[in-house]
Structure 1
Amino acid sequence: MELRQIKYFIEVAKREHVTDAAHALHVAQSAVSRQIFNLEAELGVDLFIREGRTVKLTPIGRIFLEHMEQAIHVIDDATQVIEEYTDPERGTIHIGFPTSMATYILPTAISAFRERYPHVKFQLHQGSYNELKEAVVKGIVNMALLGPVPMNEKKLHGTILFTEKIVALLPANHPKAIASTVYLNDLREDGFVLFPEGFVLRDIIINGCQQIGFQPKISFEGEDIDAIKGLVSAGLGISLVPEITLVDCLPRATVKKQIIEPSISRTVGVIIPKERQLLPTERLFYTFLKEFFTRLEEFQY
């Protein structure tokens, strides 16, 4: 089995089309077909169901793809380790993040890190909570920022960097807009603007409401934090959002209010794989993150 065959196989599996894969690989279509045929012959199984030049993975092909993707990530990591060995301050960091950390947490950390290590490069991977956990397990990235931090995962190690409050974001004409704080129960008749199902922030908010005996009425859903803030700004509902997402900019025609009874919060931190070591440059950043947010919390208090 050759590395070239594996790369051709992954590209064809991803595109489900031999000609498209050949174009992406900048090789002849016949070369891709020949290498896939040789790979199947060596393995003694059919990896694809063929319909002309359109293909779909067989069940065993899907299993093989999962293992080969992990193998390629291991090979890429090994190559990068060699490149970074002599100078980890010039390597590349692959890190995942959710939308709620895109505007303040990640940019602040990267900016501070690059003041110390200006030649380090970053490759960023945005995704949902579960997508990012899977990406770290599979080796697509070796670390990801998440909130809340998963602490009991079999293949992941979680480190809490800080805990942040979830606050109410209200339209400026809301009856509670002039109050210094709001009880969560005061919002039970409002329409909520939340993330769609499958987003962990949605679950945190719904669980908080259920704690005091009501199911929030969802008026609108937004795919990212900016969409949610925009919908609240337009007066289409209220929302509960991580306080740090409002640090740089409070949307026009909105107010931020601390929530009491119950107070809602989430842990924020970083996950890394238990079964793989971080690359040298990634170890630098991982250590930096823990030190940076410890100092930040001490400064705030």
Structure 2
Amino acid sequence: MELRQIYYFIKVAEMEHVSHAAAELHVAQSAVSRQISNLEQELGVSLFFREGRNIRLTPVGRIFLDHVKIAIVELDKAKQEVFEYLNPETGTIRLGFPTSLAAKTLPTVISAFRKEHPQIGFQLRQGTVNELSDAVVQGHIDLAFVSPVPANKKDLKGHIFFTEKVLALLPVSHPLADQSQLRLNQLRHDPFVVFRHGYILRDLIMKSCQQVGFTPRIAFEGEDVDTIKGLVSAGLGVSMLPEITLHDLPDRENVSIEIIEPNVTRTVGIIIPQNRELAPSEKVFFGFLKEFYDTLDRFGQ
């Protein structure tokens, strides 16, 4: 079995068309067909159903595809790590992040890091905490910013950089907008604007409200912080957002207020794989992050 056969097989499986796959690979169609045929002969099974010019995977072909994709990811990772061991300052870091850290945390950190290590690049991937956790475990990304930092995950190591408060967000027209603090129970009759299902911040809001005796009435759902802020400023409900997302409100139509009962906080940090060692450039970045946040903590920023 040759790597070339595997690459050809994956491309044909993705495109379900031999000639289109050949064009993408910049090789003759006959070469692709021959390599697929040789692979099937070696394995002793048919990997594709042939339907005129189109083809599709057989059940065993789909099983084979799932496994070889993982193998290719690991091979590509191995080549990258060998290259980075020769020069750790020229690697590419595949970094994940959630929407709540996109506006301030991520740009601040990457900007500071690139000043010291300008040759190291980034490939960024946004997602929910669960999506990012799975991506790190499966090797699709190298490490990820997350909040909250998961504990007791068998395949992941979590490192907390700081803990922040989660504040109430109200439109300026709200009767409680002039308060310096409030109890969450005071919002029990208000409609809430929350993140959609799958976002940890939604779960945090629901559990916090239930902790003080009510289930919030969901008026609207969103997928990013700016959407939540906009819906609140339009007077469509109240919400709860992490403090770091509220440092620079884009307008004067919302107010953020500290919640004193219950005390709602979240951890912010990074997750790395438990089952494999970080590549050199990733170690450089991880070491930078620890020093960066240690410095901020010492100076109380």
What letter corresponds to residue 274 of structure 1 in structure 2?
A: Q
Unmatched tracts of structure 2, length 5 or more: none
Match of 2:272 in 1: 272
Give distance in 1, aligned partners of 2:288 and 2:124: 17
Question: RMSD between aligned alpha carbons?
Answer: 2.0
Matches within 5 A, 1:243-262: 243-262=243-262
Classify 1:279/1:173 alpha carbon distance in 2 versus 1 (closer, same or farther; 3 Å): same
1:135 shift after superposition: 0.9
Maintained 8 Å contact 1:191/1:219: yes
1:47–1:99: structure 2 CA closer, same or farther, 3 Å change rule?
Answer: farther
CA contact (8 A) 1:104 1:248 kept: no
For 2:189 and 2:56, the matched residues in 1 are separated by 49
Q: CA deviation at 1:200?
A: 1.4
Measured after TM superposition, the shift of residue 83 of structure 1 is 1.9
Task: Name whichever of 259-268 and 51-60 sits farther off.
Answer: 51-60
User: For structure 1, which segment, 3-12 or 167-176, has the greater mean C-alpha deviation from structure 2 after superposition?
Assistant: 3-12
C-alpha deviation, 1:264, in angstroms: 1.0
Match of 1:190 in 2: 190
**SS of 2:182 mapped into structure 1:** strand
Amino acid aligned to 1:128: T
SS in 2 for 1:297: helix
Q: Note if contact 1:47-1:58 (Cα within 8 Å) is conserved in structure 2.
A: yes
| Correspondence for 1:65 | 65
Q: Distance in 1 between matches of 2:265 and 2:55?
A: 47
Matched residue of 2:272: which SS?
Answer: strand
> Structure 2 matches for 1:110-121, cutoff 5 A?
110-121=110-121
1:244 CA drift (Å): 0.8
Find the aligned partners of 2:219 and 2:131 in 1 and give their Cα distance.
26
> What CA distance in whole angstroms lies between the structure 1 residues aligned with 2:204 and 2:54?
43
1:96 shift after superposition: 0.8
Partner of 1:4 in structure 2? Answer: 4
* Matched residue type, 1:148: P
Give per-residue Cα distances to partners, 1:42-96, cap 9 Å, x unaligned.
2223334454454544443343333222221221122112222232112211111
CA distance in 2, matches of 1:150, 1:9: 37
Structure 1 residues 193 and 12: CA distance shift in structure 2, 3 A:
farther
Partner amino acid, structure 1, of 2:70: Q
Amino acid at match of 2:95: I
Q: Cα gap change, 1:2/1:48 in structure 2, threshold over 3 Å: closer, same or farther?
A: same
More moved, 54-63 vs 264-273:
54-63
Q: Do residues 151 (structure 1) and 151 (structure 2) align?
A: yes
Instruction: Summarize the Cα distance change of 1:247–1:54 in structure 2 as closer, same or farther, 3 Å threshold.
Output: farther
Paired AA for residue 44 in structure 2? G
Q: After superposition, what is the alpha-carbon deviation per residue over 1:10-50, rounded to whole angstroms, capped at 9, x for unaligned?
A: 33344444454444333344443433333233222333445
The change in CA–CA distance for 1:290 and 1:216 in structure 2 (over 3 A counts) is same
| Partner secondary structure for residue 300 of structure 1 | coil
Does 1:237 pair with 2:237? yes
Structure 1 partner of 2:282:
282
Change (3 A) 1:229 1:161: same
Is the 1:195–1:224 contact (alpha carbons within 8 Å) kept by the matching residues of 2? yes
Give the TM-score normalised by the residue count of structure 2: 0.92
Report the equivalent of 2:172: 172
- What is the CA deviation profile of residues 96-146 of structure 1, one whole-angstrom value per residue up to 9, with x for unaligned ones? 111111111111111111111122111111122221111111111111111
> Kindly tell me: are residues 252 and 51 of structure 1, through their superposed partners in 2, closer, same or farther at Cα, counting changes over 3 Å?
farther
**Alpha-carbon distance change, 44 to 161 in structure 1, aligned in 2, over 3 angstroms:** farther
2:29 and 2:284 map into 1 onto residues whose CA distance is: 43
Conserved? CA contact 1:95–1:122, under 8 Å: yes
| Aligned equivalent of 1:228 | 228
Query: Counterparts of 1:204-215 in structure 2 under 5 Å?
Result: 204-215=204-215
Q: Write the deviation string for residues 155-202 of structure 1: whole angstroms up to 9, x where unpaired.
A: 111111111111111111111110001211111111111111111111
- Which piece of structure 1 moves more, 33-42 or 203-212? 33-42
Structure 1 gaps, min length 5: none
Aligned to 1:163: 163
What is the alpha-carbon distance in structure 2 between the residues aligned to residue 287 and residue 187 of structure 1?
Answer: 42
Q: Which residue of 1 aligns with 2:77?
A: 77
1:33–1:200: structure 2 CA closer, same or farther, 3 Å change rule?
farther
- Tell me how far apart the structure 2 counterparts of residues 278 and 194 of structure 1 sit (CA, whole Å): 35
Count of residue pairs the alignment pairs up: 301
Retained in 2: the 8 A contact 1:93–1:282?
Answer: yes
Task: Answer yes or no: is the 8 Å Cα contact 1:229–1:251 preserved in 2.
Answer: no
- Correspondences of 1:8-87 after superposition (within 5 Å): 8-87=8-87
Amino acid at match of 1:92: T
